[in-house]
Structure 1
Amino acid sequence: MAVASVARLREADPMPIQSRPMVAIDNITMSFGDFTAVRDVDVQVGDGEFLAIVGPTGCGKSTILNAVAGLLTPSAGSIRIDDKPVNGVQESVGYLFQQDALLPWKTALQNVELGLRFRGMAQAEREEKARAWLTKVGLAGFEHRYPHQLSGGQRKRVQMAQALIVEPKVILMDEPFSALDIHTRHLMQNELLRLWQEDRRAVMLITHDLEEAIALGDRVVVLSSGPSSRVVESFPVRLERPRNVAEIKLDQRFTDLYRDIWACLRGEVEKSYARQD
């Protein structure tokens, strides 16, 4: 790993002051029978921080995210959101999945308002909020379209509105743009950053795309190869905001950081492939 390069970066540019923790993952271990997916993982996400997590396939990234959402229970350790223990499914969390999670028999408007409906909000109020969010994500006039009548990028915009309309304290994202073509992906990444900048929430993004992790994140955490995956290193991303994800990749600091993180990540990827042979 380019240790000297990382050391010079850290000495020259001190860590930014972190806000209070919104998500506190304290030494969690996730085991399923005799199989341990992650072991002693300790990660904190500040209020308003955009954290990206990268690691080899099968290292337990989605497992960690599902534990934060309350969909899985740690075998050891604890998770807190806004200083409250995570016990069961969390209403304070918005989740953007890799695959479309829209109900095909409901319109864009009905899909967006779904979370508010579950919270008992009156129909007129939730429809008004849903229309406002569809406008915010550039889908005014598409309220009555069904998912099959929308493009991949449009469906992803509906998903973002659906997740953000409930004003979550934490936004979880499981490779939300991986199924999109590169041009649509850049558009959606910029759209996500625009929406996030308006009212910063704590974000946890997992991705296999290191460029995406750096372009979007305030910090990139690298996980080791599984099983019994752990945190290997945490890299601060010192690139100004607001960002354009395509243009930021031309910045020399982006290139230097990519090289340093990949030097750390590459060994874990190689271990993962070696175990599959």
Structure 2
Amino acid sequence: MAYFDEAELYSGFAAEMWAAYDEKGWDHAYYKAVILANGGPALDIGCGTGRLLRSYLQAGMDVDGVDISADMLAHCKRLAAEQGLRAPTLYHQPMQALDIPRRYTTIYIPCGSLACVMKRDEVRETLRRFHRHLEPDGELVFNLFIEEEQTAGKTFPSEWVGWSKADLPDGRKLQVDRRVMKADRIDQAVTEHRRYRIYDGEALVHEEIRTGGYRWYTHNEALWMLEATGFRVEKVNGDYKDEPFSEKHAGTMVIHARRV
């Protein structure tokens, strides 16, 4: 399995894309309800440009953030200042090396970001570090996407598929496309390319392609990893709804676990 530079993948134009992308709809209310129910401070893992964090700060909530990308964090600080928010407390660290001085009642990981930790021993270490940064009985909540790329019969590399568009501060437009290069059903890992194209009007003025990847996990595999690293799994919901994860859910499973 080839590994990639996650910090590089989410720098430069990738950070520009997320800074312009402000859609909160699918998970904003869900994680907010968890944080409020637990009370106390929360930590946003892979906070990026503050898609959720800034909104929670605006609501008066006590939320810190951590991310591997310095560019993402710089955008988060800038956007928070533009919104008139207090300066967020942000840490520039990979989640698998999490080491900060505060403890939290809630740690949440949006966007399926745990799957970006590609090495299995590092996933276990990541969960152990989350455990250490939670208060006793603190809650870890995160989603894992239901992976379809591993389905037999698909041909790779896939075709390029439009993924996102963004208007840049200088007036140019950013188009992001994605294609799957390989889906390894044995190793449960996907390798993908992301293509960033910059347009000035109708003219293509810049193009770059970056390589990324992620792992997928089955329901039982995720629960075993949590139980092996000191957590008690409370529930697994489907598609950000307050209902048990089942075959009818086509998007994501959301796992709730507490520090034992």
Q: Same fold (TM over 0.5)?
A: no
More relative contact order in 1 or in 2 (CA 8 Å, sep 6+)?
A: 1
User: Structure 1 or 2: larger helix share?
Assistant: 1
Q: TM-score, normalised by structure 2?
A: 0.33
User: Structure 1 or 2: larger strand share?
Assistant: 2
Q: TM-score, normalised by structure 1?
A: 0.32
